[in-house]
Amino acid sequence: MFKDRAIATETVCVLGVGLVPGLSNLMVKKAKPYFDEIKTVDIFLLLGLGERHGIDGIKWLLDNINKEFSLKRVNTIENIKTFKNKRKTKFPKNLKIRTAYSFDLADQHTIPKTLGLNNVSSYFCYDSAFVTKEVVILKRIGLFKLLRIGFLYNLFVLIFNLLLNIINKFKLSSDIYSIKVDIEGIKNNRNVKHQSSIIGYNNSSVTGKVAAIVANLIYKGEVKHGIYYLEEVLDFDVFYEQLNNDIEYEYKNI
pLDDT score at 53: 67
Q: How far is CA 245 from the centre of its chain?
A: 21
pLDDT tens readout for residues 55-95: 888 999 999 999 999 998 988 999 999 999 999 999 998 88
Q: What rounded mean pLDDT belongs to the chain?
A: 94
Does the pTM surpass 0.75? The reply is yes
Q: What is the rounded distance in angstroms from the CA atom of residue 34 to the CA atom of residue 191?
A: 12
Nearest to 105 by CA among 48, 56, 46: 46
How many residues can be counted in the chain?
A: 254
Q: Indicate the Cα dihedral angle 193, 194, 195, 198, nearest 10°.
A: -170
pLDDT tens readout for residues 119-177: 999 999 999 999 999 999 999 999 999 999 999 999 999 999 998 888 888 888 889 99
pLDDT tens readout for residues 94-127: 888 999 999 999 999 999 999 999 999 999 999 9
Nearest to 122 by CA among 142, 139, 102, 141: 102
Q: What is the rounded distance in angstroms from the CA atom of residue 5 to the CA atom of residue 225?
A: 10
Confidence grade of residue 199 (pLDDT, cut at 50, 70, 90): very high
Q: Are 48 and 175 in contact (CB under 8 A)?
A: yes
Q: Are 20 and 105 in contact (CB under 8 A)?
A: yes
Does the pLDDT at position 54 exceed 80? no
| Domains of the chain from N-terminus onward | 2-253 (3.30.360.10)
Residues of the chain with pLDDT > 70, as a percent, come to 100
